[in-house]
Structure 1
């Protein structure tokens, strides 16, 4: 049974600290060299990043493990007041919310991806489109200008990105409906097109949800992350790099 990624990360950091302390002791006793706290922190970060890779965590965890303890050391030397830490914590919570559970960080798609996405949508037919994990709302706000006949929805669980998207929509007089909720609680049968730019860790469960709920003939589109169980029916934007590539399946 695979441990939750949060528990994995805690164990990785703890083990990396122990190994860094062992390396410090060996350097002191064998070479009579005592590394500084900053050097030990960098060693610990490197060990943690390697352990993260060996544990087959998502790639974005590796740099997080590497910078964690060095960042703590730097913050300690900056003498940041306690309220500063509290403010930073609140901001991170508001933007990343349940990323520790969903393993979906805040990814922002590019205009290249928006244009490739527009090429997969019906030019004149009416359709409903939902962006799962819509972030600050850029995708539906951009597309609704090009497809006035369509209805657009954005679903985001993190409070800060959702609020930003809602405010952007209000200021533009947009018809896009932004909802703060977990996309796993949605009934995807309500939409003709389902778009997601999430993470590799989230795709297996989302694909099962889409396969079970989406209507025959509807379109499921994933940016950057394919699903392993079925080859896509269409691939767009691959010339712009893996991060901008769209994978589409006709359900």
Structure 2
């Protein structure tokens, strides 16, 4: 049975905790010394983080593995009421939802993307544009206001961002459509331009879908993350922060 990345991460934390106890026991047995709780916690964080990188987890898992024990201890010392943790768990679940399975954390799009994307949109004919993983919807709402020829759509699998985006569209009376769905189930042939801001872990699988479903003459765009082994046709550097927008012509 193939384990999800979330379960692997949890197991890694438990194994790192066990290894930390073994090291503490060895230090006590051979040198008669003991570490403070703070040093022991730091040692555990380092072991978990290094182990994640050695096992070739994506780099952000190393950060998560290091930070998670620190946050657990910090909140434990705050003596917060139990319902606070329940509310926190609920909000994080609604925000990140299936990140453990898709390996695509919540990445809010940046305003610096607006102008480069507008320069790539048709200005003399109608077109369909979709944002895979549209988050809170800000990018699409801005694009829709500045290009009246496009039919803009967003697909989001996490309930909270999707609900926020739908509410914003209703409030601003925007024609943008937001769908609560997994982009894997979406037929990409209906869109002339497909944009995504996902993660390196998702790009190979998405490219297989893009190259199979998107029609000739369409454009696939990815912010920051490239398709492994596939040379992009467009590489646009965003002058404000040095990040990149990549494009592949189908």
Instruction: Give the TM-score normalised by the residue count of structure 2.
Output: 0.95
2:96 is the counterpart of 1:96: yes
For structure 1, which segment, 195-204 or 4-13, has the greater mean C-alpha deviation from structure 2 after superposition?
A: 4-13
Aligned-partner Cα distance in 1 for 2:2–2:158: 26
Which residue of structure 2 aligns with residue 245 of structure 1? 244
Q: 1:214, CA displacement in angstroms?
A: 0.5
Which residue of structure 1 aligns with residue 183 of structure 2? 183
Which residue of structure 2 aligns with residue 67 of structure 1? 67
Please say if residues 27 and 34 of structure 1, whose CA atoms lie closer than 8 Å, have aligned partners that are also in contact: yes
Which residue of structure 1 aligns with residue 52 of structure 2? 52
Which residue of structure 1 aligns with residue 28 of structure 2? 28
Aligned-partner Cα distance in 1 for 2:247–2:26: 54
Aligned-partner Cα distance in 1 for 2:215–2:229: 19
Q: 1:80 to 1:162 in 2, by over 3 A?
A: same
Runs of 4+ deviating beyond 6 Å: none
Gaps of 5+ in 1: none
Q: 1:33, CA displacement in angstroms?
A: 2.8
What whole-Å deviation, never above 9, does each CA across 1:115-171 have from its counterpart, x for those lacking one? 212222112321110000000001111111111111000110100000111111111
Please say if residues 98 and 158 of structure 1, whose CA atoms lie closer than 8 Å, have aligned partners that are also in contact: yes
Aligned-partner Cα distance in 2 for 1:110–1:70: 29
Aligned-partner Cα distance in 2 for 1:181–1:113: 24
Q: Pairwise mapping of residues 76-115 of structure 1 onto structure 2 (< 5 A)?
A: 76-115=76-115
For structure 1, which segment, 118-127 or 180-189, has the greater mean C-alpha deviation from structure 2 after superposition?
A: 118-127
Please say if residues 45 and 67 of structure 2, whose CA atoms lie closer than 8 Å, have aligned partners that are also in contact: yes
Please say if residues 38 and 73 of structure 1, whose CA atoms lie closer than 8 Å, have aligned partners that are also in contact: no
